Structure 1
Amino acid sequence: MMRNKDRYFVCVPMFVCLVLAIELVLGQDFKPTDKILLNCGGPAVSTDPDGREWTTDNGSKFGSKTGKSTTSQAATQDPAVPQVPFMTARIFQSPYTYSFPVASGWKFLRLYFYSASYSGLNISDARFGVTAQSYTVLRNFSVLETSLGLNYEYIVKEYSIHVDEGTLNVTFTPSTSASKAYAFVNGIEVVSMPDIYTSTDASPLTVGTNTVFTIDNTTALENVYRVNVGGNDISPSHDTGMFRSWTDDVRYIFGAAFGVTETADPEVKFEYPPGTPSYIAPKDVYLTARSMGPNANISLNFNLTWIFSVDSGFSYLVRLHFCEGTTTISKINQRVFDIYLGNQTAQDGADVIAWAENFNLPHSNGVPVHQDYVVYAPSGSPQQDLWLALHPDTASKSNYYDAILNGVEIFKISDSKGNLAGTNPPPLLVQDLIDVSLARKSSHGKSKSHTGIIAGGVGGGVVLLLLIGLFAFGTSRRRRNGKDSSTSEGPSGWLPLSLYDSKGKKELDAGYDGNVTDSKSSGMSMSIGGRSLASEDSDGLTPSAVFSQIMNPKGR
């Protein structure tokens, strides 16, 4: 009997040590000191579809003591829009300030909007600005125009702001340019966040100039994209304690060149490196990836490309997440590739294993790493396309001509005047041309349609047949890769506006050469759909030349 007890007392500490060891390897979620979720105009307590509890702002200590406001139910509800926090709103006819007492430090500020009629008001008259501390986060903002322009059913704006004095002030102000203008908000979320985006370790370089760009406590950020590449949507409750939403990457991939998705091998030990907090990104981001595929002859003849629409006139922090999760890639110079941002070289000879080896762990695969870059979107048209492209690095003569990516985060950086506000996106004028058979309805996402295929333009004979075959193949790939709508947790995709001309006709602009090359310019110089290119050799291309250059990129 005593022997059994002795065994029990020996086994328990061993088991506890084992659990602690697993937790140290896999990491723990971030524990926010401040977590405020206001369902504006809503009931005392309500729960959203993700299981998070919201409280009302009726009689709240956070509301203005002198400002005037009213509350209202939404006149309509789209089936894809969650009840909480979107079915009630607080409406402002004059400036109104919420004051949130919080601990000093970095905060996520998320604003929730649903385009509907409230209190009989015309939603087209809802036009307003929002400031947070000294930063202008929205100006002349129209929820209706933004919803239509992005094809989103509801809008969530996320900002990262440093609070010095213990109070976060958020002010809504109706636009003075319209006599009937009013402001409204459906939900407000304030959550503490760790200092994971500033230049604490090393300042990122500005792509194209190689100048250091410093992000510190005086900088505000707006998250515009957070993408789980090669994986599924990740809902806020499955994030690492910061309630971030991650979407799949299928909607952003250019053309039919999808590459292949990879899932980490179970034999590979997953371990966050020293100095990298485990909450930097969910483990699920690093366990799935997208690569170009094992066939070098194919990989060398295309770029794995994603397109992201951004506001012009701002700098953007682009964080790329990597992890070699297979037993095949475990040594330096096995998979080496180049990274392009905005038609410029951001990184030559990217080697994930080499980055991981800098941490001196017993293994270099299964180690998450991330790289930060800053790219400037020059002023011009209100919005433009930011291209992210990967291509095998042939100069390294690596074992595999391939590239890999696990995740992408893109943040707009406040300018010197503390401004983050862009313009409202133009409306989608070609919705009736979208093939509904390719659409994917989200159960509670932001967007209404899946990314359409980039179709061919003008041409005949062999060129036309080749184009039809190419995009027919792309169609089958999209249908095979699409997820069932009942399992989708985030927004379905939206069609980049630049894929269409003003008449609504799908066309592949002759200015695109199908390959991201280093233009050595200081801004983004590639676009499609009628937007100009800086590349001198792209003018006047025929459809056959476009097709040829897509399949046979130059400069490799």
Structure 2
Amino acid sequence: MGFNGVILSSTFVSMLLMVSAADNFLIDCGTNSSTVDGARKWVGDSSASNVTFSPVGIPANLSKVDTNATYPKVYTTARIFTSVANYTFKVSPGRHWLRLHFYPFSFMNFSVNSSVFSVNVGPLKLLSNLNVSNEISNKNNNPQYSASGGPKIVQLMKEYSINVANSSAQLVVTFTPESGSFAFISAIEVVSMPEDIFPTSSNLVGSSPKKSSLDLSSSGVETMYRLNVGGSSVTPQDDSGLSRTWEEDKYYIYSLDAGSETKNVSAVSYNSPNDSYIAPLVVYETAREMTSNLAQVVNQKINISWSFAVDPNFDYLVRFHFCELVFDKVGMRVFGIYINNQTADPSFDVLSLADAKNRAIYSDYTDTSMGAGVNTMWIQIGPNPSLTGSDNNAILNGLEIFKLSRKDNLAGSPTKLQGAENPSEAEQNSILWPVIGGAIGGAVLIGAVIFVGLCLFCGKKKPTPVKPHSPGWLPLFLHAGSESAYTTKASKGTVNSGSTMVAVRRGRKFTFADIKLATNNFDESRVIGIGGFGRVFKGEIEDGVSVAVKRANPQSEQGLTEFETEIELLSKLRHRHLVSLIGFCEEQNEMILVYEYMANGTLRSHLFGSNLPPLSWKQRLDICIGAARGLHYLHTGAEIGIIHRDVKTTNILLDENFVAKMADFGLSKTGPALDHTHVSTAVKGSFGYLDPDYFRRQQLTEKSDVYSFGVVLFEVVCARPVINPTLPKEQINLAEWAMHWQQKGMLEEIIDPKLAGAYSPGSLRKFGEIAEKCLADDGKNRPSMGDVLWNLEYILQLQEAADRSLSLANSSTQLSNFPSNLPHIRESDENSESTLIREDQQDQQIEARSVGESEEGAGALEFSQLVKPMGR
């Protein structure tokens, strides 16, 4: 979780989300015309591109729609099916929001009251025996919901998160009516989701604080509840591009007297730009905290409690959204979080994670306690009697509950919502202090999960390709039914069965004619990069979308090897800070990949060697944070950790908004298995960036990327080549030269003159410290990429604090006089291999090193895959 506290406008957030949303289908079913509701345009299913449905069914046109409907215009039509029907969406691989909209109606001899049907996406069952009228009636008749003044529900919307496999490139929604009945659908949304909106691990409820792995790559997720706590409802138009609906929490709270509403008194900000899609700022601007009469609350031992109807026999991911709106010091508000009478966190302190007042954060918990017959989930926050030295107050800004699929099933049996108007004695006791029973059972469960995970992980064997003949090759993508695979031949010409690799096709399949048209028949003027693999051309596909077209050279065995590696990795990876693969071409023995075009080229081109405007210090920090996020995802977010092995400024590309993305995975390697610390491999990389520890031992680790990234950091601040043989001997190697000045505490002596003091000295000092840590001679002494990312976000926070201080002062006050009460940087655990930067660690000496002979001249241009210049 980030700590830079950047304040993003809703317009900018929407722009970021639209950039990352590869697919955005808003389908109005049962019509061929478009409909505009608010700021959203819905396209009729009969005329929508990249959407097909079969059979045609019966279009229904309704004369009247209740004004309480979220999208009244969309609900005036529907499509009815009396037999099994499919809607097929051509989409890019990755996780998507799927929203199904239903509006009750009577049309001709079809009455929605008698409609019963099921809905699937592939093998995943979303809904079973659904009767829309009953679903709506259950919620409206819930005693708690109606007694709390809940608005009348007139339509049903079901929201799911579906992961589209790389091999399919399509999402198929199947409607299956019960015998003698019919299915219907009013509207469908299919929208690409941000890659990391769901965590890879979360806190397991009911155990001592411990993380539980959470692999949702092949799972379906259903949104059960999404609440704006302490505030009014948030409409889809107000949700910054993701179009979610946030209900008021008061319809689910057990007693309004236990908590009071509060609002912020100044601007709320995100911890990190990437948090902007987690929830809109308006959710964090309001909250519910315990009643002001704390003594009474403590004496009565009452928590703030919410109850929710859920389906039994499923696991749930519960996301709490927090923003401290009152206190400004750590320890002033510490409270417990409880789910279903189990402790999720006994001593939660918002400020300890956010580091500042009015700073938005969130925390995820996995609940596995919803067994048979348990159809109500209790969420509670409140004081912990064992805590001292705090006000024992509690606060919550937002809440989301997600159901996780089990065995390709998300469809719970129809269950009437349970009210809490007259809870039993047991339920009343649950609203008092929760007991922490079940800790032993939780620990056993965690152990079982870890054991099974280790067995599965260790049981996987990664096939290794064997180099093909050169020159020339067969296309890597060979059709085999609906899958794509390729086999490569051993150097002796025999086919090695062990070398067969299954490559999941990702993205669109282009014809060779498409590629020639896009690149103007490979016009030389469109070349934007040349390397060992071949050339990269700027192209343009339909609708004027710019792309980067990489055409491999069949004469280059080196290029083919890198090409194969990139195909294998990009078939598994998708992240906002990794360059995305759009499609491929496999015709006429061509090896062509099509990537998103990065309009602002390489980071290096903006630092030196061009006439481009210089980057500001804040821009440089944002770019470094983006690149660090991409590398951190490679190391920890992928199924198996991946080491980039060629981190440098020419492989950090910038899009039209200067969002940094890592590129060039040709040299990448999968990380070591759980029982190993490194990967033994021949040394590869770029001079000037190469890890000396890796060079000496030929043992590759994630810390090798950290070293290279440390060189990038110094390159960013100094804006000069990493190797320049024309300079005096002590200045040739940037890493050694910068370390010399950093260890003297005088990095500003060699800073890029174009920055000209337009930076906070405090942020520069911390920047130098983390770069110094990255360049530790022994890899074990370097921080992890996660730690580097945390520090960079903190550095950005320092710079922004200085900017705000200067702006408020409206004078010539030096940037070094920024607030002294900023949160101290955290320390790493005592046993951690990587020690984080601390306030009192400024002058740690690190042995200078020589990485090897230089192959770059002063004017030499470094290699990049997707942009100019030429050469490696």
TM surpasses 0.5? yes
**1:515 matched to which residue of 2?**
432
In structure 2, what is the equivalent of residue 119 of structure 1?
Answer: 108
- Count residues with an aligned counterpart: 412
Q: State whether structure 2 residue 359 is matched by structure 1 residue 367.
A: yes
Counterpart among 398, 402, 407 of residue 411 in structure 1 = 402
Secondary structure, aligned partner of 1:297: helix
Q: Matched residues in 1 for 2:258 and 2:215: separation?
A: 33
Which residue is 1:283 aligned to? 281
Partner Cα distance (2:292, 2:25) in 1? 47
Identity %: 32
Conserved in 2, the CA contact under 8 Å of 1:389 and 1:516?
no
Instruction: Output aligned runs, 1:97-246, within 5 Å.
Output: 97-151=86-140, 152-164=153-165, 165-175=168-178, 179-200=179-200, 202-208=201-207, 212-246=212-246
Contact map agreement 2:206 2:436 (CA 8 A) in 1: no
- 1:284-433 alignment runs, 5 A limit: 284-300=282-298, 301=300, 302-326=302-326, 329-357=327-355, 364-381=356-373, 384-415=375-406, 417-426=407-416
Q: Distance in 2 between matches of 1:276 and 1:79?
A: 36
Name the CA distance, whole Å, in 1 between partners of 2:225 and 2:41.
25
Residue 86 of structure 1 aligns to a residue in which SS? helix
> Structure 2 counterpart of 1:240, which letter?
S
Amino acid at match of 1:371: S
1:58 paired with 2:56, answer no
**Shift in Å, 1:388:** 0.6
Choose which of 81, 85, 94 in structure 2 pairs with 1:92: 81
Contact 1:39/1:84, CA 8 A, preserved across alignment: no
Preserved contact between residue 205 and residue 342 of structure 2 (Cα < 8 Å): no
Measure, in 2, the Cα distance between the counterparts of 1:256 and 1:238: 26
Q: Quote the offset at 1:117 in angstroms.
A: 1.5
TM superposition shift of 1:68: 4.1
Q: Structure 2 vs 1, CA of residues 282 and 23 (structure 1 numbering), >3 Å: closer, same or farther?
A: closer
Q: CA deviation at 1:62?
A: 5.2
SS of the counterpart of 1:145? Answer: helix
Equivalent position amino acid for 1:78 in 2: D
Contact 1:192–1:242 (CA under 8 A) maintained in structure 2:
no
Contact (CA 8 Å) 1:414, 1:420: kept in 2 or not? yes
Quick check: 296-305 or 514-523, which moved more? 514-523
| 2:65 maps to 1:77 | yes
**Match of 2:216, as an amino acid?**
D
Q: CA deviation at 1:213?
A: 4.1
Given that 2:128 and 2:411 are in contact with CA atoms closer than 8 Å, whether structure 1 keeps it comes out as yes
Q: How far is the alpha carbon of 1:101 from its aligned partner? A: 0.9
Kept in 2: contact 1:261–1:289 (CA 8 A): yes
Cross-structure match for 2:269: 271
Question: 1:424 is paired with a residue of what secondary structure?
Answer: coil
TM-score, with structure 1 as normaliser: 0.69
Partners of 2:439 and 2:80 lie apart in 1 by 43
- Between Structure 1 and Structure 2, whose CA radius of gyration is higher? 2
Q: Matched residues in 2 for 1:25 and 1:240: separation?
A: 6
Cα offset, 1:192, TM superposition: 1.0
Asked if the contact 1:76/1:117 (under 8 Å) is kept, the reply is: no
Tell me which moved more, 29-38 or 65-74.
65-74
**Deviation of 1:290 (Å):** 0.6
Letter in 2 for 1:173: T
Supply the AA of the counterpart residue of 1:510: E
CA contact (8 A) 2:8 2:269 kept: no
Matches within 5 A, 1:38-57: 38-42=27-31, 44-48=33-37, 50-57=38-45
Q: Deviations over 1:507-536 (max 9, x none)?
A: 442333241512524899xxxxxxxxxxxx
SS in structure 2 at match of 1:212: strand
| 1:220 shift after superposition | 1.2
Whole-angstrom distance in 1 between the partners of 2:119 and 2:357: 45
Q: By how many angstroms is 1:27 displaced?
A: 6.2
How many Å separate the matches in 1 of 2:184 and 2:99?
14
Counterpart AA for 2:437: K
Q: Quote how far apart the aligned CAs of 1:147 are.
A: 1.2
> CA 1:65–1:401 in 2, change beyond 3 Å: closer, same or farther?
closer
Shift of 1:106: 1.3
Q: In structure 2, how many angstroms separate the alpha carbons of the residues matched to 1:117 and 1:59?
A: 25
Moved more, 112-121 or 393-402: 393-402
1:145–1:424 contact (8 Å) kept in structure 2: no
Partner of 2:26: 37
State the shift of 1:195 in Å. Answer: 2.3
Which AA in structure 2 matches 1:205?
L
Task: Tell me how far 1:93 sits from its aligned partner.
Answer: 0.9
Paired residue type of 1:325: L
Judge conservation of contact 1:63–1:97 (CA < 8 Å) in 2.
no
C-alpha deviation, 1:258, in angstroms: 4.1
- Give the secondary structure class of the aligned counterpart of 1:147: helix
Residues 88/160 of structure 1: CA separation in 2 closer, same or farther (3 Å cut): same
Pairwise CA distance, 1:122: 2.6
Deviations 1:210-255, CA, capped at 9 Å, x for gaps:
5724133112110011111111111111112111111111101103
Quick check: 391-400 or 188-197, which moved more?
391-400
- CA offset at residue 61 of structure 1? 4.8
Answer whether contact 2:204 2:366 (CA < 8 A) is retained: yes
Separation in 2 of the partners of 1:373 and 1:317? Answer: 6
Structure 1 residues 345 and 388 mapped into 2: Cα distance closer, same or farther (>3 Å)? Answer: same
Cα deviations by residue, 1:179-213 (Å, 9 ceiling, x for unpaired): 4211000000111110234334x443244585724
- Relative to structure 1, the CA distance from residue 322 to residue 42 in structure 2 (aligned partners, 3 Å threshold; closer, same or farther) is same
Gaps in structure 2 of 5+ consecutive residues: 1-5, 141-152, 442-872
Q: Is the 8 A contact 1:130 1:139 kept in 2?
A: yes
How far does residue 409 in structure 1 lie from its aligned partner after superposition? 0.7
Q: Indicate if the aligned counterparts of 1:239 and 1:281 stay in contact, CA closer than 8 A.
A: yes
Structure 1 residues 144 and 377 mapped into 2: Cα distance closer, same or farther (>3 Å)?
farther
CA distance in 2 between partners of 1:387 and 1:86 (Å): 34
Q: Deviations over 1:380-428 (max 9, x none)?
A: 34x721111111133231331200001001100011x1110112233xx
Q: What do you get for the CA RMSD once the two structures are aligned?
A: 2.6
Cα distance in 1 between the residues matched to 2:127 and 2:81: 15
Task: State the Cα deviation string for residues 135-160 of structure 1 (Å, max 9, x = none).
Answer: 11111111111111112311000001
Relative distance call for 1:138 and 1:231 in structure 2 (3 A) is same
Following superposition, the deviation at residue 79 of structure 1 comes to 3.6
Report the structure, 1 or 2, having the larger helix content. Answer: 2
CA shift in 2, pair 1:235/1:292, >3 Å: same
Cα distance change on mapping 1:26 and 1:168 into 2, 3 Å: closer
Q: In structure 2, what residue type is equivalent to 1:111?
A: L
Amino acid at match of 1:181: S
Q: Is the 8 A contact 1:213 1:374 kept in 2?
A: no
**Alpha-carbon distance between aligned partners in 2 of 1:65 and 1:390, rounded to the nearest angstrom:** 47
The answer to which structure, 1 or 2, has the higher relative contact order (CA under 8 A, 6+ apart) is: 1
Deviation at 1:304, TM superposition (A): 0.6
